[in-house]
Structure 1
Amino acid sequence: MTIRGVFFDLGGTLRICDPAPEHQAKARARMAELAGAADAEAFLRQTDERYEPYREWALREMREADDLSLWRDWLLPEMPVDRLRPIAHELTYQYRQVKGLRRVVEGGLQVLHALKGRGYRLGIISNLIGEVEIGEWLERDGLRDMFDAVILSSLTGIRKPDPRMYLMGCEALGLPSEACANVADNLKRDFTGAKAAGIGANVLFISPEKLATKTITDENRPDFIVHSFTDILDLPIFKEGMGET
């Protein structure tokens, strides 16, 4: 079947995270201010320590907590819920900013505009904490109209590789799974679920150095591998636009 829709993973694929010391310092300070913590560094260390068991749970159960549940049940359980509720979204937002400044990968905008111009329906399927960051980013960068589907684990409550993430995306695009392609960077997380959902083509975006450390199996095998993001445009499934192949 002809590919008519394309899903992109975010972290490590469509977006990358760069160190930005001033940006990160402001985020640490704002986190502490929101939580009423006197020592920003100590509060961040505590949050990181508490995040580890949450992450283990999320990976094991293939689930994701909403912002309020994340802080109420895992990261800041000592704070009363009535105090947490109005700040939970921003706490998660700032916690993600502590990691660095996220930007679209080199060549990413070129690929998005080219595929959109060729008639493909575009979507995002991503695992992440935080309910508001991605919507704000899409609005801020003028990308809201670029995507017909945005499926986030923080909003669905489930995580890739659960195949339902991909099936939700296909439903949002109004396409059968075999008419959709998936572009991502993690063999286990991004491809086992996509293949189980019947996604028509899987594209691995990875450096040669990282690829050399990976094990490809029948369960995670991509259909295509690209080392430069713009090479996506030259793949046979996209090169001729949406004409029948």
Structure 2
Amino acid sequence: MIKAVIFDMGGTLEDIYNTPETRLENAKTLLEYMKRHGITLECDPAEFSEKVIRSYGDYKKFSDENNIELMPFEVWDKYRLRDYPEIDRRILQAISERLTHIWETHFHHRELRPHAVEMLTALQKAGYKLGVISNTPSLVQVLWTLHEYKIFDFFEYVGLSSLHGFKKPDPILFQIAARDLNVQAAECAYVGDTIDKDVKGARAAGYGMTFRIKSYAEEEQRLTGDETEADYLIKDLSEIVTILEKEKGVKAYE
């Protein structure tokens, strides 16, 4: 029987996407913040944005291939700002988490999915333990965003790749979440939007149920066989409650 429901963050609990406008605003905000701390880069924001995005792409490739999440300073030093050796690295180290937070909250447009609060309320009322596992380069952004959405208090556990040093689909993230929630892996359901990171990671950890919600990443999915798909493919978070009601026999929306 499922006793805990654990969620991915970006693309699952929230819709997340970026546009040329958000990318440019992100670059301007980063440059302004660095200048405030004595790091002045005389460059065009659009050009800066393209260069940093390209460098971050190399980090993402390394990170995804090895399921490793580096600390914020390492990401900025070795990847995002590697083309700017003139930057004072001591200052960069001191502000790297803040730069990461800016990136995550300005580069992307984020919005809580419809029915998220009602779904979480219903699951909590039905007695499920709730948690979050998120791949993120920031140490604080997910926690900050959960507070912004006013849903932080629903969760007994929040696990971040930036804190663990590993990232999904490494099963250790899913195993730690189950143990910290004091349940068996087979008693956990995981809700994510990707096959490679969410579905495969949860299954490798022995989770009893997987959900995949359609998201901006849908076009990136590449099925290699039916065994890679989630147990349930959903379009709305409210479907989770209906499905679990049938499994547990609890009318969570009453």
Alignment TM-score, normalising by the size of structure 2: 0.85
CA distance in 1, matches of 2:20, 2:52: 19
CA distance in 2, matches of 1:152, 1:228: 24
Change (3 A) 1:42 1:23: closer
**SS class of match (2:180):** helix
30-39 or 106-115, which moves further after superposition? Answer: 30-39
Choose the corresponding residue for 1:75, options 67, 70, 80.
80
Kindly indicate whether the alpha-carbon contact (under 8 Å) linking 1:21 and 1:100 is maintained by their aligned counterparts in 2.
no
Kindly indicate whether the alpha-carbon contact (under 8 Å) linking 1:131 and 1:155 is maintained by their aligned counterparts in 2.
yes
**1:215 paired residue number:** 223
Spell out the pairing of 1:136-175 with structure 2 (5 A cutoff). Answer: 136-175=144-183
CA RMSD across the alignment: 2.5
How far is 1:99 from its partner?
Answer: 2.7
Amino acid at match of 1:3: I
Spell out the pairing of 1:16-31 with structure 2 (5 A cutoff). Answer: 16-17=15-16, 26-31=25-30
CA distance in 2, matches of 1:161, 1:18: 21
**2:60 paired residue number:** 55
CA distance in 1, matches of 2:203, 2:20: 39
Amino acid at match of 2:63: A
**1:109 paired residue number:** 117
CA distance in 2, matches of 1:23, 1:76: 19
CA distance in 1, matches of 2:168, 2:18: 26
**2:242 paired residue number:** 234
Change (3 A) 1:219 1:126: farther
How far is 1:109 from its partner?
Answer: 1.5
Report Cα offsets for 1:33-85 as digits up to 9, x if no partner: 21522332222122111111111100110111111111122222423331112
Kindly indicate whether the alpha-carbon contact (under 8 Å) linking 1:28 and 1:94 is maintained by their aligned counterparts in 2.
no
How far is 1:104 from its partner?
Answer: 1.0
Kindly indicate whether the alpha-carbon contact (under 8 Å) linking 1:179 and 1:200 is maintained by their aligned counterparts in 2.
yes
